[in-house]
Amino acid sequence: MIETAKENPLSPYQYLTWLLRDAPKLAAEEKNLAEKLLPENAPQSSWDIPVKI
Q: Name which of 3-7, 17-21, 39-43 the model is least confident about.
A: 39-43
Using alpha carbons only, give the angle 34, 42, 28 rounded to the nearest 5 degrees.
Answer: 30
pLDDT of 37 above 50 = yes
CA 34 to chain centre: 11
6-26: per-residue pLDDT in tens? 888 888 888 888 888 887 777
Q: Helix H segments across the chain?
A: 2-7, 12-22, 33-36
The pLDDT value given to residue 53:
43
CA-closest candidate to residue 24, choices 39, 14, 8, 36: 36
The pLDDT value given to residue 51:
46
